[in-house]
Structure 1
Amino acid sequence: MGSTDQNTSQRNQTILVEFILIGFSDFPNLQGFLFGLFLVMYAVILVGNSLILVITKIDPSLQMPMYFFLGNFSFLEICYVSVTIPRLLADLYRQNRSISFLACAIQMYVFLVLGVTECFMLTVMAYDRYVAICKPLLYPLLMNKKLCIQLAGGCWVSGIPVHIGFTYSVFSLPFCGRNWLDHFFCDIPPVLTLLCGNTFLIEMMIYVIALLVVTIPFMLILGSYVKIISAILKLHSTTGRAKAFSTCSSHLMVVALFFGSGTITYLRPKSSHAAERDKFLSLFYTIVTPMFNPMIYCLRNKDVTVALKKFLLKCIVL
């Protein structure tokens, strides 16, 4: 009997060649509405971040390290959302939610790599603000063009080797034959629920990686802002304090949104995971936060607002 069960299990593991993304099929009457909503949100993300990317490249007043990193961050956001939203829109439109085993692994890998890049990019942006406010006289020397390019490049490539090993470890484990992923993309929590046997090692890897790419960067950002706020409060000029707070507050809001939602998703105990809650929480950090980021930077940063108005006026005149 034990031998028969083992053979059945092995058979189930070998025939698993695709997954079915359940997504939001629990709400059949809302499929059209959700498609329209997510399409509009995706368009807002693409347009908003593209505008910031363009103005940071062409506007002379924004040729500073802060806006160089902001341009990188905007391009990163476009890449980040494009890993999940087009697939979600296609699933809602055609009602065919199958995704191949390889495509699922690639989607998870690229999503995780870009997530790491975002963590590090936000950390570098905090460091830039720290140098600008706490060491203003040394700022041009410390944040030179070569270093900025190296820091941005390091952010983009740092997650590549880490998640090759992690993704391979997840998808090389046996699956139990069930191929229904109760999610709208191949994220870690729903994929882990389909794995057979003990997933303790994978869960430990998640916590170790999270410590390295989430907790440590977040603590560095926090430390930077403790010093930044202390330095701002010592400024005698009210205008100087207001400008410094406005440039830093936008970054702090983005940090809080991104790290807050990511931490709740990946670092809470496995027993507290619920499919519906995970899906809606994932919507927050994959769609909602990237949509608000351009708005936050435009509303909270006067230099970006002015540059954007100039660019739009130029486009209208042309």
Structure 2
Amino acid sequence: MRSMSQLGNDLYTGKTSFPFVGRRRLWFLIAAILVIGSALVPLFRPIQFSIEFTGGSQFTVSGVASPVDQSLATDAVLSVVPEATTKVVTIGEDAVRVQTDQVTDAESREISTALAEAYDVPEAEVSYAFIGPSWGADVTRTSLWGLAIFLALTFIILALYFRTWKMSVSAIIGLVDVLVITIGVYALFGFEISPAAVIGFLTILSYALYDTTVVFDKIRENTDEDGEVSGRTFGESVNLAVNQTLVRSINTTIVAILPTGAILFIGLIWAGAQTLTDLSLSIFVGTIVAAYSTIFVAAPLYSLLRENEQPIRTRDTRVVAARELAGTPA
């Protein structure tokens, strides 16, 4: 069995090659199914937004005896507001946070009293905060603006750096693919989207952009050598570039998800590390999706967008003709 280093060497020299470009119709079909499926998931399993987006009331009870019984908090809230929707999270070993729909001042005082009695702590140990819908709207608007600015700058910078808008289009479609599928995974498994998760989304888009740029840079290097000298068609040069960077992409992804997975695990077992969990979860899921998108979507799509250009078609025709003349299989 070949080692990873030997495989990397064979991929770089072209001795071993996976048909990323040659089978792009299959990859595009799979990508379309994933994207459409991810877009449809929220219709059946609505996306869960945190209180920062939806607004509501939040109570924190400190000095709680261990082990923390979360059902006491739920019962306390429902005893005051029977129709309330609650979310209870344990913080550390001696505190609990309760999030619920917006309640009136009178109801908040009653809930604070009920929580204090349920956990047998002084009422002073129960803190209350109200997050209004206007603040949640501001968070949503800021997040969308951040995403729009990121995508716009990405398009412009890539177009200037690679001197072709088609690389920008391929990269942006790849990034949108990453974002849609990641959000679809969140909706499918009922993960909550919080401001920390949004930061994670932007982080994984940056990672996906980095990975795509590395592959595209190798594509540019290979395609500059196209023609009779290299003996490769444009599509073959793109495919070679993806294969040459494949091991690097895999290694980078593994290196990224291992510590992120460890942080996610710590956040899950260390009750109350909600921000840590939200951030690491989005990065963990998105990093895996980003690696897939670069290899199977962005690079093959760029090849598709460029292959019908007349200079490239003419050059590819000469390459194929030279092979036939030399008796080399096409």
TM-score (norm: length of structure 1) = 0.29
Higher relative strand content? 2
Which structure has the larger Rg over C-alpha atoms?
A: 2
Higher relative helix content? 1
TM-score (norm: length of structure 2) = 0.28
